[in-house]
C-alpha cells in the first residue's frame, strides 16, 4: 500500500499545489494501477475476493486456449475493478495525508527544485531534516 501511495505522490502534489493535473504523473499512475491489479489478481490481497489468484495459464476451451481473455466471469471482473479502485483510492488518500502533514517539506523541496532542477540524495535528505522529517537510511532496510 505504501508503494501505491508513493507512486501517487506526484499526482497528489500537483493537485495540491496547482489545483490541476498534468500528464507528468502518467507513468506513476500506470505503475500504481498495475500494482493494485496484481495485488488483487495475482497475490490474493483482496478482502472481498479473498486469497485467490486470477492470473495463470490461459483457460482451455473446445476451440483452444483463450489467450488474452479473462479467466473469470464478468461479475468477478467487476469486483476486481472495484477492489483495484479501492486500493488506488486508499493510496491516494494516504499520499494526500502525508503531503498535507508535511506540506512545509513539499514546498521546500519544490522551491529548491525550481532553483537547481535536480537534487542529490544528500541535499534532499537535508531538506527533509530541516522540515522535521527523519529520512530512513540504508541500514534501516531502505535502499
For 126-131, the CB contacts below 8 A with 24+ separation are 131/102, 131/104, 131/105
Residue 101: the pLDDT is 96
pLDDT tens-digit readout, 127-139? 999 999 998 876 5
So what's the pLDDT on residue 73?
76
* pLDDT tens per residue across span 34-66: 999 999 998 989 888 888 887 654 444 555 544
Q: What confidence score (pLDDT) does residue 49 get? A: 87
Joined grid coordinates for residue 20: 490541476
CATH topology of domain 1-57+70-101: Methane Monooxygenase Hydroxylase; Chain G, domain 1 (1.20.58)
Name the band, by pLDDT with cuts 50, 70 and 90, for residue 18.
confident
Q: Give the residue extent of every domain in the chain.
A: 1-57+70-101, 102-143
Instruction: Give the pLDDT confidence of 80-113 residue by residue, as tens digits.
Output: 899 999 999 999 999 999 999 999 999 999 999 9
pLDDT of residue 63: 52
Q: What is the pLDDT of residue 67?
A: 45
* pLDDT for residue 138: 62
Amino acid at each position: 500500500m505504501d508503494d501505491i501511495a508513493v507512486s501517487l505522490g506526484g499526482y497528489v502534489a500537483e493537485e495540491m499545489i496547482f489545483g490541476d493535473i498534468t500528464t507528468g504523473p502518467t507513468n506513476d499512475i500506470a505503475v500504481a494501477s498495475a500494482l493494485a491489479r496484481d495485488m488483487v489478481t495475482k497475490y490474493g490481497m483482496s478482502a472481498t475476493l479473498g486469497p485467490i489468484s486470477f492470473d495463470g495459464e490461459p483457460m482451455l476451451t473446445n476451440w483452444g486456449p483463450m489467450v488474452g481473455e479473462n479467466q473469470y466471469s464478468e461479475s468477478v471482473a467487476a469486483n476486481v475493478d472495484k477492489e483495484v479502485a479501492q486500493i488506488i483510492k486508499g493510496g491516494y488518500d494516504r499520499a494526500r495525508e502525508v503531503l498535507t502533514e508535511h506540506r512545509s517539506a513539499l514546498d521546500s523541496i519544490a522551491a529548491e527544485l525550481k532553483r537547481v532542477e535536480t537534487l542529490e540524495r544528500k541535499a534532499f535528505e537535508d531538506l527533509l531534516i530541516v522540515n522535521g522529517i527523519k529520512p530512513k537510511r540504508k541500514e534501516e532496510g531502505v535502499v
